[in-house]
Amino acid sequence: MLSVGGGRSAVCRAVIATSIVWLLIDVVILFYYLDPSTSQQQPFPEDNRILNRARRIEPLPPAAQHDSDPDAHPIQPEKQEKQVYPVDKETANQLRKLMETQAFGPGYHGQGGTGVTVPEDKKTIKEKRFLENQFNVVASEMISVNRTLPDYRSDACRTSGNNLKTAGMPKTSIIIVFHNEAWTTLLRTLHSVINRSPRHLLEEIILVDDKSDRDYLVKPLDSYIKMFPIPIHLVHLENRSGLIRARLTGSEMAKGKILLFLDAHVEVTDGWLEPLVSRVAEDRKRVVAPIIDVISDDTFEYVTASETTWGGFNWHLNFRWYAVPKRELNRRGSDRSMPIQTPTIAGGLFAIDKQFFYDIGSYDEGMQVWGGENLEISFRVWMCGGSLEIHPCSRVGHVFRKQTPYTFPGGTAKVIHHNAARTAEVWMDEYKAFFYKMVPAARNVEAGDVSERKKLRETLQCKSFKWYLENIYPEAPLPADFRSLGAIVNRFTEKCVDTNGKKDGQAPGIQACHGAGGNQAWSLTGKGEIRSDDLCLSSGHVYQIGSELKLERCSVSKINVKHVFVFDDQAGTLLHKKTGKCVTGADQRVTLDECGLGRKDQMWQLEGYQSP
């Protein structure tokens, strides 16, 4: 005979077990609303949970994972008996709390890619929680993880997509690395990928947790992803490894023929996957990135980016977006669906053949944490026989943050300089001097042993960086042909021309020489430009005697006559070719004045000058 205490204990255990089972059923039911179109027709009835508990759905069995027409829209989960995954009480409670802050169906904010405004009574908590991830977590929680997005593609891309046959295309492993990612942005990434990707092209999704310390990214996430209708593998790294090594962990696990790297705070759009897979399948040495649209870090509004921008870089070896030059637009003609051949990619989102990824050396494991790996792989792909593209028919929104929420061992600058220095030492040949002149602090950072990477370059018989500048990126701020690199020093005052940190349209000045490069690093190019990164010395729009020289954005195609100078090494004069006047250092100003024989304020020394 059971005691009264024992009976109560048994009843309590039964109640807890029953509650956990119903919780899991609730979770699975919510996945009925994975597809936005389904959600629109059947809003989630918040006030009818008892009836919802009677509905049971299961991830698709293997036999049902392929539509009879492989080019049809991705199939949806079916209602079936669910498999109960074991979950402990603590995890169940965590999941319940997380899902209370999580919207699934329509009727929530942000539908159609619109932004949201946080109510006044939540402004304080918004500002506090913004620091968690350097974006508006409160706004993200107001938006459905299944929110609808318009089809942002051009008419040409929609037509191209409708005609694209995906039968027989290789499967893709999607690799997403995260560290302390917000719950709703990570889930919105997963839901959007599954909602808007043909199921037969997805081999798996691999999540690599780079040593997060937030509880919800462990057991609750482990339990949540089991409800999805495709394989999702979650790896928790024991030590903080950084993006590069974490991605390598994911790529080593991948079963798909194509690897597709994504960030953890993105939303993919209609037709995003097929163009990427198609281009890589056609040429295994082709690396393809989508157009990266902007998701506001404040309102989470989806804002489309230009279809005519490509990736470049500056003397700091910072990735930059620039307008696609006329020569590339001419190559594409009037076809808006044709991919853009780009000198570099942003690095967060791209597709690559798995075997080619390893053939050309995957990632440089000597790099630390994050930063610079995108330029390194961009140079390597082009110089070692591959190509890079941005596909205008594939659009992925990305939450762009104004600063990183993460800390770096030794500081952010040290890590960034370390990675950039490795890129410069291995791939840039004599042009690495531009980086060190602009970022002298990088000389004091240990780049580590790069012998293996140099050996890789030799084994692959990769081309020179000069070839890259001349054939792939002639519009680069680094001139393929240059006469000098360093300071412009007055021979008598020993003072230097300095950008003074000014920008396009502003005037440079004269300052005491410090020998550290940076603002005093200039290059006289073979075309006669005097460059500091992508800014050129110019006579300005209106010229008159004694007027100050200006900084202007250098031309990327046809040379601007206002930017052309001729240096006489013997006399020390810098003659502005169009006006016939000489560069003059007057007090702290840089002007154009009548040339005078023996004028000390017009006599210059160009560091590192070599006559043609």
> With the C-alpha atoms ordered 353, 358, 360, 361, is the resulting torsion angle positive or negative?
positive
Dig out the tokens for 252 from the structure.
């080593």
Phi and psi at residue 187, to the nearest 5°:
-70, -35
Confirm whether residue 240 is marked as ligand binding: yes
Instruction: Give the Cα separation of 465 and 33 in Å (integer).
Output: 51
Task: Please enumerate in sequence order all residues whose Cβ is within 8 A of that of 21, keeping only pairs 6 or more positions apart, or say none.
Answer: 84
Q: What is the 3-state secondary structure (H, E, C) of 201-260?
A: HEEEEEEEECCCCCHHHCHHHHHHHCCCCCCEEEEECCCCCHHHHHHHHHHHHCCCCEEE
Rounded to whole angstroms, the Cα distance separating 493 from 601 reads 8
Q: What is the DSSP string of 569-588?
A: TTTTEEEETTTTEEEEEETT
Q: How many other CB atoms are found less than 10 A from the CB of residue 411?
A: 10
Q: Please state, as a whole number, how many other Cβ atoms lie within 10 Å of the Cβ of residue 253.
A: 14
> Cα–Cα distance between 11 and 17 in angstroms, integer?
10
Tokens of 50: 């008892």
Q: Of 117, 141, 112, which Cα lies nearest the Cα of 129?
A: 141
Q: Is 129 annotated as a binding-site member?
A: no
Residue 237 burial class via C-beta count within 10 angstroms: exposed 0-12, middle 13-18, buried 19 and up: middle
Phi-psi category of residue 385: left, alpha or beta, with phi > 0 → left and psi -120 to 50 → alpha: left
Handedness of CA 56, 62, 67, 73 (dihedral sign): positive
Using CA atoms, how far apart are residues 95 and 502, in angstroms rounded to an integer? 52
Which of these, 251, 288, 247, 258, lies nearest to 353 by C-alpha position? 258
- Distance between CA atoms of residues 351 and 169, nearest Å: 14
**497-530 residues labelled b (16+ CB within 10 A) or e (exposed):** bbbeebeeeebbbbeebeeebbbbbbbbbeebbb
**Is 401 labeled as ligand-binding?**
yes
Amino acid, res. 313 = F
Query: What is the Cα–Cα distance from 292 to 423, expressed in whole angstroms?
Result: 24
Cross-strand bridge partners of residue 567:
574
CB atoms within 10 A of CB 578: 15
Q: Which tokens in the block code for residue 175?
A: 């690799």
406 is in an annotated binding site: yes
SS in 3 state form for 160-213?
HHHHCCCCCCCCEEEEEEECCCCHHHHHHHHHHHHHCCCHHHEEEEEEEECCCC
**DSSP structural state of residue 303:** E
Q: Is 370 annotated as a binding residue?
A: yes
Q: Give the separation between CA 396 and CA 265, rounded to whole angstroms.
A: 10
Residue 179 assigned as binding residue: no
3 state SS of 115:
coil
Residue with tokens 């991605």: 247
Residue ranges of the annotated binding site are 210, 240, 263, 265, 370, 398, 401, 406
Residue ranges of the annotated binding site for substrate are 210, 240, 370, 401, 406
Residue ranges of the annotated binding site for Mn(2+) are 263, 265, 398
